[in-house]
Amino acid sequence: MDDSLLLLQLILLLALAAAGLALFERFKLPAIAGFLVVGAIAGPGGLGAVADPASVRTLAEFGVIFLLFEIGLELPLERLRDLGRTALVAGGIQVVVTVALVAIGAWQLGIAPASALVLGGLVAMSSTALVVRMLSDDGQIDAPHGQLAIAVLVFQDLSIVPFLLGIPLLAGAEESSVQDLLLSLARMAGAFALLVFIVRFAVPRVLSRVAEARSPDLFSILAMLIVLGSATLAEQLGLTLAIGAFMAGVAATSSPYAQQLFSEVVPLRGVLLGIFFTAVGMLFEPRVVLEHAPLVILYLLTTIVLKAGVIAATNTLLLGRSLRVGLLAGLALSQTGEFSFILAEAASRAGLLDESLYQVVLAGSVLSLVASPFLVRASPHLAELASRWLGERDDEALRLQTPHGGEDLCERVLVIGFGLAGQTLARLLRAIDVPYVILDANARAVTQAQERGEAILFGDATRPTVLKRLSLEQAKLVAVAISDPLATRRIVSRIRLMAPETPILARSHLVSEVDQLDAAGATSVVAEEFEGSIAVVARALELFQIPAGAISSFTDALREEGYGAIREPASHRLDPWLVELLNEAGTHWVQVPERFPPDRSLRDLDLRARTGANILVVERDGASISNPGPTFALHAGDRLLVLGDADDLAKLGDLLGETPSQG
């Protein structure tokens, strides 16, 4: 093919990728599915806009190289260590069990053992980009099911390395003897060790030398050279391009310039991946899919049901968490992802997937990606139905194993959730001698807290029967301090139905959750996003010497208005009455500077007449002097509690010799 035709096809691929992304983003559907669908429509099996998509596949496959480099650069080993037991147990069991069950089922259907194992690997992988995007958009990254999903995704990302290494071994398994396979494995291990040695010691040193040159252009060129050079080296050693890129990314993390590398690589990776998935979509053959429609449906249903079921069972039986959390995470992960296409491509080239089986995988994967957003939206309802259908007993959902009996639940504060917010609230209540009881659905956390003597119960607060046993009508306050927005709304609404007069304090993350929690019946909502904004505003006002009392009145007014002033568009001006609060006189602590001349009395300073401020208290050497008289002499280092407005404080700062520091 001549260069002009190749350029035209590349331009067409970019245009199609942009169209697919724009269309699917508009309807909040997966971008990857958009690339695949638009590619299928424009490919030889559709409109035939590109007659030979394989001609641009070499360029498109660079996207895979950059993706693997990015995964390595984000240091998944560190992330795996941070997630700890959850990633190893939930992720490991999900991958192993899914591969085993799918392989056994495929083998029973007459598929060769090597191809059956490949199918298991394809089904085991989920879309990291899609799942993180959906959880982030819904504010569920920090929810229990969000953390569980992230842990499984990290293990899946790491699994791509042995999966890719296993493709050539499986491809030669039927023609080779055991001795040949062992020799191939030894050669592969040696090549892998050599690659690790080279990139581990060479890449960080080269990065440091280039960074010393302070040439952004040279650094950009070096970033491309590291990615492509390591990939090519791996291929020359008998591994794959993707393995080389991944190992280079892992090696680069030991350099202090890893973040700069990340910023250089990510934009190009996004463009190339868009081209890659659009080109993959062009290989889609509707005719072949129609001929194998039962297998496509079987692949889709197996992917959704098996993965959701394995994750839910692991979360419930081995991690001791609620079935609901496991199902929410399982349904979020119930698609095949970007690595599935990479594995399918490698297996197809190695002869492990014939054309019809490859088309089945391609069609089923596209359908699973498109179905994911709808499954996630319906997951709370599906999880509730599944919990009831599977017969989770409500009378066992609450375990009263604390030193306090059931009658002690009356006249207490009920804290739902024992995360950071719940623990902080419990410490405060304990400090001021307010009785409380904590309810949490994490069995391991409950057991550990009970061993420390904490007044904590195990139970799922989304279950009505659990709430009925907590004497909600007689509680002084119910504080819902969990990080799951969906569960928070459900808990608040059910508590309000059971106890119409009980005060409910709810925690939320995003702006959109405040009105929903208010409608559900929350007495007060603490919005973390808004509180962060208020804290920034308050600190800024302090730097402008606004009195602490005025700042407190201003921030209290923002909260009492339901954060209305913060939620308005940035172009809207603040209501005048809010601004007036900042002009009111208030109290403020002021430090007398160290350079202040000694033994100058308030009368000598003529402080009241010259500044308008009034000194209420002077703190000196741990002692407090209230309402000092006109003969009282100020000393360097004194802390003054001053009553006045912002202008008064500014004048006082000038009088004392420098801008007063904050107390």
Candidates 74, 29, 63, 64; CA nearest to 271 is 63
User: Two tokens at 45?
Assistant: 């099996």
pLDDT bracket for residue 531 (50, 70, 90) = confident
Q: What is the mean pLDDT of residues 420-449?
A: 86
Give pLDDT, residue 102: 93
pLDDT tens-place string over residues 379-415:
888 887 877 676 554 444 454 444 444 445 567 899 9
Distance CA 42, CA 37 (A): 9
Q: Is 439 a residue whose pLDDT tops 60?
A: yes
Give pLDDT, residue 301: 92
Interior angle at CA 115, CA 109 and CA 120, nearest 5: 80
pLDDT tens-place string over residues 498-516:
999 899 999 887 767 888 8
Cα 246 versus chain centre, distance: 22
Q: Are 440 and 399 in contact, with CB atoms under 8 Å apart?
A: no
pLDDT tens-place string over residues 561-582:
666 666 666 556 666 666 666 6
Give pLDDT, residue 587: 74
Interior angle at CA 497, CA 479 and CA 432, nearest 5: 25
Distance CA 562, CA 524 (A): 9
Report the chain's mean pLDDT, rounded to a whole number. 78
pLDDT bracket for residue 96 (50, 70, 90) = very high
Extended beta strands in 419-548, E state? 436-440, 456-458, 477-480, 504-508, 524-527
pLDDT bracket for residue 663 (50, 70, 90) = very low
pLDDT tens-place string over residues 307-320:
999 998 888 888 87
User: Two tokens at 85?
Assistant: 């037991």
Give pLDDT, residue 524: 86
Q: What is the mean pLDDT of residues 438-443?
A: 85
Q: Beta 504-508 vs 524-527: how paired, if at all?
A: parallel
Specify the residue for token string 């808004």: 530
Q: Kindly report the backbone phi and psi dihedral angles of residue 393, in degrees, each rounded to the nearest multiple of 5, phi listed first.
A: -80, 125
The secondary structure of residue 88, as a DSSP letter, is I
Give pLDDT, residue 575: 67
Distance CA 310, CA 326 (A): 9
Distance CA 324, CA 460 (A): 9
Alpha helices in 47-177 (DSSP H): 57-60, 62-73, 76-83, 85-86, 92-108, 113-124, 128-137, 144-171
pLDDT bracket for residue 173 (50, 70, 90) = low
Q: What is the mean pLDDT of residues 126-153?
A: 80
The more confident residue out of 570 and 597 is 597
Give pLDDT, residue 175: 55
Q: Is 335 a residue whose pLDDT tops 60?
A: yes
Interior angle at CA 524, CA 520 and CA 530, nearest 5: 105
Give pLDDT, residue 564: 64
Specify the residue for token string 């699973």: 368
pLDDT tens-place string over residues 33-69:
788 888 888 777 777 776 665 665 666 667 677 777 7
Domain annotation for the chain: domains and CATH numbers: 3-385 (1.20.1530.20), 395-522 (3.40.50.720), 585-663 (3.30.70.1450)
Give pLDDT, residue 404: 44
Assessment of whether the complete model's pTM goes beyond 0.85: no
Q: Is 661 a residue whose pLDDT tops 60?
A: no
Q: Is 1 a residue whose pLDDT tops 90?
A: no
Q: Kindly report the backbone phi and psi dihedral angles of residue 504, in degrees, each rounded to the nearest multiple of 5, phi listed first.
A: -125, 120
pLDDT tens-place string over residues 252-286:
776 677 677 777 776 766 777 777 778 777 777 77
Say which range, 358-367, 523-532, 618-627, has the weakest mean pLDDT: 523-532
Q: What is the mean pLDDT of residues 128-150?
A: 79
Q: What is the mean pLDDT of residues 78-99?
A: 79
Distance CA 637, CA 592 (A): 5
Q: Is 331 a residue whose pLDDT tops 50?
A: yes
